[in-house]
Structure 1
Amino acid sequence: MQAVVVRHPGEPAVLENMTVPTPKVKPGWSLIQVKGRGVNHSEVFTREGKSPSVAFPRILGIEAVGTITESTAATRLPVGQTVITFMGEMGRAYDGSYAEYVLVPNAQIFPVTTELPWASLAAVPETYYTAYGALLGLRLQAGDQLLVRGGTSGVGVAAAKLAHAMADVTVTATTRQLGKTDQLKAAGFDAVVEEREGQLLTSATFDRVLDLIGPATVADSLTHLNPGGIVSSTGQLGGQWTLTDFDPIMRIPNDCYLTSFYSGDVQVTRIQNLLQLIASQDIDVTPVKTFPLSDMRAAHEYLASHHSFGKVVVLS
């Protein structure tokens, strides 16, 4: 099969197009023919060598959509079944979806029924599931002012679309490049504020904050909450993995809350509810950019560039 292999960390040039053996099915695992996969910032970090647990060589890719070609769970995962898979250490502890086929534990494969085309379905698993789970945790109510830090990211754009479908809210994006304001508003945001070096350049306050920058900006996000407000730290786009020297008594304002959402905790009912919401509300989940598998380097270059906006998908 054709695959994109990283033999050692580095710049996008380390993504090598290679012919490798198709994985052999083993007990408890099934083989998926990959039709598409989203490309994620975490994969860029791993390619750069910033994921200490990942050993090379490795085929990256933490999510995929496709069909079952060989199954060891024929009742739940019959051959030909449309499935999605994401997280579960795919592309990290074992080879991932940057290939024509991927071998995945059955427990990490989720059968779905959908009319979405492959490019749109490939945008859903990690990105829309993360946004949806985080928004559920924020307990949106009609009239809320929601701030999305990291609004130009794939999850940020997904959050804007989903939030409007879930409640009558006003959604504001943050960006370091105000030149993207028109793009953000076209994607579903109602307003845009600038941030610089982890600080919001506004005194405005919000009822809910979806912080996709993560630990690097959580403390600042907490200072922009209204009473009863909630911050969800659900991303690490800032490149900082943990909160350090964080005193919750001093940093979390009285009557405010800090929570998070981890997309690795996958619930089938949540996936089904998400797909139903997308269908019933006719949410446009079309990725902003698609690339062929043979051009994975270009996908990574785009995602890491200042021009990056929204979800990037690579099709087989």
Structure 2
Amino acid sequence: MKAVIVEKAGGSEQLKVVDRPIPELKEGWSLIKIKGFGINRSEIFTRQGYSPSVTFPRVLGIECVGVIEATSDSQRFTPGQRVVSIMGEMGRDFDGSYAEYVLLPNQQIYPIKTDLPWEKLAAVPESYYTAYGAYKNLKLKASDRILVRAGASGVALAFLNLVKSSLPKASVTSSLRNPAKKAKLLASGYDQVIIEREGILETNQTFDKILDLVGPSAVDDNLNHIKENGILCIVGLLGGQWTLEHFDPIMALQKNVYLTAFYSGNVDVDKLQELFDFIATHKVEIRAEKILSLEQIKEAHDYLEGAEALGKVIILNEE
């Protein structure tokens, strides 16, 4: 099979497409024929060496969609069955989805029911699951004014699509560091775009709900722009800061603000199926910004690291 090996931490030139044996089935695991997968920021961080628990060489990839090729659990799985896998230690403690086949623990393989074609299904798992978790935690209403920090990311645009499909009257604003992307974001469905400079929003507006993909570095500024009884949900760490320091919760949340988060590792088959049912019920738009091949993996990483990055990038494997 073809697989992408990272021999050592570094730039995108470390992503090497090689031939290697298809993994052998073992007890408690199943072999997945990968139809496609999305590229995630966490994989870029890992490739760069910012995941201390990850040792190299490693096949990256924390998500995939595909079919059961072989299984050690015939009670749950059958060959050809359509499945999704996300998170666990895939692509971290053991080799992940940057390949044509992957061997995964049975407990992190989820059979799902959906009519989505592979090019749409591959764009769903990590981005839409995270966006849907935030959607629920934000307790959204049709009358809400919503702000999305780092609105050009794949999770942000997935969230926008979930909101606009189910609550079309809700107002959704994006923050943006690169003004050149403003027209594209408005065309994607945002009602307004606010420029952010050095972590500060250039506006005095306040919002009922804030979805934050920047992370702890943006918390103080977010709290300056949230209304009484508003909800701030953190789901990303694009700001490069992982934890809050010198945080006084009583003073920071003095406007009766609710601070929450969503962790996509909190996943099971029922939660995933709920997402796919929501997508079907509300006819949610699913679209990848770029669809590339395994041989173009370096191009995928370079695009997401570049100034023009927008939305979800997926890799599709040929039949």
Q: TM-score range by the shorter chain?
A: over 0.9
Deviation at residue 165 of structure 1 after TM alignment: 2.5
Q: Distance in 1 between matches of 2:224 and 2:186?
A: 25
The separation in 2 between residues aligned to 1:130 and 1:253, in whole angstroms, is 28
- The answer (yes or no) to whether the contact 1:287–1:311 under 8 Å persists in 2 is yes
Q: 1:255 maps to what in 2?
A: 256
Q: Structure 2 matches for 1:153-302, cutoff 5 A?
A: 153-167=153-167, 168-302=169-303
Cα offset for 1:60?
0.1
Partner of 1:94: helix, strand, or coil? Answer: coil
Contact 1:205 1:224 (8 Å CA) reproduced: yes
Please give the alpha-carbon distance, in whole angstroms, between the structure 1 residues aligned to 2:284 and 2:62.
Answer: 24
Report the residue type matching 1:181 in the other structure.
K
TM-score normalized by the length of structure 2:
0.97
Task: Output one character per residue of 1:40-98: Cα deviation in whole Å (capped at 9) or x when no partner.
Answer: 11111110001111110000000000000001122321110000000001101110000
1:246-279 Cα shifts (integer Å, max 9, x gaps)? 1212222331110000000103222112112222
What stretches of structure 2 of length at least 5 have no aligned partner?
Answer: none
How many residue pairs match? The answer is 316
AA of the residue aligned to 1:282: K
SS at match of 1:21: coil
Partner SS state of residue 116, structure 1: coil
Structure-2 residue corresponding to 1:149: 149
Q: Deviations over 1:278-314 (max 9, x none)?
A: 2222222120101100110000000100111000001
Runs of 4+ residues deviating >3 angstroms: none
1:50 aligns with 2:50: yes
Separation (CA, whole Å) in 1 of partners of 2:21 and 2:163: 43
Q: Distance in 1 between matches of 2:253 and 2:46?
A: 32
Whole-angstrom CA distance in 2 between matches of 1:12 and 1:18: 15
Contact 1:17 1:294 in 2 (8 A): yes
Amino acid aligned to 1:249: I
CA distance in 2, matches of 1:224, 1:253: 13
Q: Which amino acid aligns with 1:277?
A: F
Q: Distance in 1 between matches of 2:184 and 2:221?
A: 25
Structure 1 portions without partners, runs of 5+ = none
Equivalent residue of 1:120, what SS?
helix
Matched to 2:162, the amino acid is L
Amino acid at match of 1:52: P
* 1:315, distance to aligned residue in structure 2 (A): 1.1
Contact 2:165 2:283 in 1 (8 A): no
**Aligned letter for 2:264?**
S
Tell me which moved more, 184-193 or 60-69.
184-193
Q: Deviations over 1:191-229 (max 9, x none)?
A: 110111111111100000000011111121111110110
Offset of residue 110 of structure 1: 0.5
Note if contact 1:223-1:253 (Cα within 8 Å) is conserved in structure 2. no
Question: Take 2:116 and 2:231, find their aligned partners in 1: how far apart are those partners?
Answer: 33
TM-score by length of 1: 0.98
Could you tell me how far 1:177 is from its partner in structure 2?
Answer: 1.4
C-alpha contact 1:110 1:268 (8 A) present in aligned 2: yes
Corresponding residue for 2:134?
Answer: 134
In structure 1, the residue corresponding to 2:16 is in which secondary structure? Answer: strand
Partner of 2:307: 306
| One-letter amino acid of the counterpart of residue 183, structure 2 | D
CA offsets 1:118-168 (integer angstroms, 9 cap, x no match): 111011000000000011000001200010001000001001110123334
C-alpha RMSD of the superposition: 1.0
Range 72-81 or range 121-130, more displaced: 72-81
Match of 1:60 in 2: 60
Cα deviations by residue, 1:102-124 (Å, 9 ceiling, x for unpaired): 11111100101211111110110
- Indicate if the aligned counterparts of 1:222 and 1:253 stay in contact, CA closer than 8 A: no
Percentage of identical aligned residues? 50
